[in-house]
Amino acid sequence: MIQRFEQACAVPIAVWHSKLTAKQRLDTWLLAREGLVSIIIGTRSAVWIPLSNIGVFIVDEEHDLSYKQQSSFRYSARDVAIVRAKQAGVPILLGTATPSLDSLYNALQQRYQHFVLPERAGAAIHPSFHIVDMRQQKNALSPQLKKAIKQRLKKRQQVLLFINRRGYAPTLTCYNCGWVATCKNCDANLTYHSNNQRLNCHHCGASHLMYSQCPSCQYLKLSLLGQGTERIEENLEQQYPSARILRIDSDTTSRKNAIQELLNAIHNGEADILIGTQMLAKGHHFPKVTLVGIINIDSGLYGIDFRSTERMAQLLIQVAGRAGRANEAGAVIIQTHHPDNPLLTRLIRKGYNAFAQAALQERQQTEFPPYAHLALLRAEAKTLDLAMEFLNKAKAQAKINEQVQLWGPVKAPMEKRATWYRSQLLLQAKERKLLHEFLSWWLPTLQKMAGSKVRWSLDVDPQDLL
């Protein structure tokens, strides 16, 4: 991003993100405040930088979940930018190929101007989509996908395979007694990583040596279920021994400068097959990639969060956007056990806008955002009873208000995380003003009730209910 702006704009540019030193961040802060830089490129927290002479705010990939700070001081950088632009009387551009349903709703309500760019830049054309039914398939890579990979390798083109799960396998189990390796701190299975032969929890970071036998029945043969990036990489090395394979996930990019080295290798043509998680889906320009394979899209089709299908559609279109960005036509192969899912087929056949229209109709029928406004009161304690007791008291203290509905409290979908038991109380209102009036009255009551044994947070416009 920085290189593109430096090539296009001959003006001073400053950068802001968490990997900078404190001195570097201070320099950017002071330069911006004094008006000595013309463009500031930054991540979420850059929205708070003081600006002496604001011209325009640009939020790239405005739909992205990472714009919401999910812990400590909760805020949406996108929404803060919108408010700052309004206060300064300057334009704000929300750019994305897959607008959030909130933004599309605002466009339909004529709060936003909606500009549509139907064609790709330059000579690039939209890729073709192909759904593969995996219900009768025994392997992670279907014959259709393997055939397409072989064709691209013959033409010396690059292939990108997307699987949103790092590690080797997400489940270790014993078929003899049914034991499953779970995290002692969380309600989650441990993921096996073959590079260090350890079982890791992707929620709290706990790590355990690989078991040599079942700890429950001492059976010697344990089974690894499911697919992760490492297992797909191993599979590809067996299928295409002469291909140069690069895996890009948080495990291979933890070393300083590792991500840049991997991206340079891709651009220099030093890789034939790329395997990656969401890190590969966003914003990258890989001119030689002509085939994108999505290993498994199903986790997003039937998620417990009402935004699951929206996230799935956005991710699918973003990943598909890596294919055929130059002169060669691109193709996208989507593997699924639910090929007849109505939202998925609508997305593939009619495009993202048609999908969004259907999803908005569902939201309207269920009175979920953007047709209502939510807040989520979360509580954590060392026992579930303490967390639930706090929320029940909070609910009891709430004024009877027909305009604001309180749902719960209930256990969080992941009840235990990092040794803390979690529960939540959902608030729902049709009008934002009524919700905020209620919260302004309720919040001091919560602060008085809180004790040292319960951690709690109030999240307005929660982006996940997990």
List pLDDT tens digits, range 62-74: 999 999 998 888 9
Q: Provide the pLDDT for residue 124.
A: 62
Q: Provide the pLDDT for residue 298.
A: 85
**pLDDT over 70 for what percent of the chain?**
97
The backbone region for 159, taken as left when phi is positive above 0, alpha when psi lies in -120 to 50, beta otherwise, is beta
Q: What is the pTM of this model?
A: 0.87
Q: How far apart are CA 46 and CA 17, in angstroms?
A: 7
Q: How far apart are CA 167 and CA 250, in angstroms?
A: 10
- pLDDT at 400 > cutoff 80: no
List pLDDT tens digits, range 246-271: 998 888 877 877 888 888 888 888 89
- pLDDT at 409 > cutoff 80: yes
What the chain holds in terms of domains, given with CATH numbers, is 2-108 (3.40.50.300), 128-165+229-364 (3.40.50.300), 170-225 (no CATH), 373-460 (3.30.70.360)
Q: Provide the pLDDT for residue 114.
A: 95
Under the banding of pLDDT at 50, 70 and 90, the label for residue 61 is very high
Sheet of 420-429: strands edge to edge?
404-417, 420-429, 373-381, 454-460
Under the banding of pLDDT at 50, 70 and 90, the label for residue 327 is low
363: its two tokens: 């939201």
Mean of the pLDDT values across residues 19-31? 94
Under the banding of pLDDT at 50, 70 and 90, the label for residue 123 is low
Three-state DSSP at 447 gives helix
Q: How far apart are CA 364 and CA 374, in angstroms?
A: 14
Axis crossing angle, helix 308-320 with helix 342-350, rounded to the nearest 10: 30
Under the banding of pLDDT at 50, 70 and 90, the label for residue 283 is low
**pLDDT over 90 for what percent of the chain?**
73
Q: How far apart are CA 77 and CA 96, in angstroms?
A: 15
Under the banding of pLDDT at 50, 70 and 90, the label for residue 168 is very high
List pLDDT tens digits, range 341-390: 998 999 999 999 999 999 999 999 999 999 999 999 999 999 999 999 99
In 322-343, which positions are buried (b, 16+ CB within 10 angstroms) versus exposed (e)?
A: bbbbbebebbbbbbbebeebeb
To which residue do tokens 């039914």 refer?
Answer: 133
Under the banding of pLDDT at 50, 70 and 90, the label for residue 1 is confident
CA trace torsion 209, 213, 214, 215 (10° rounding): -60
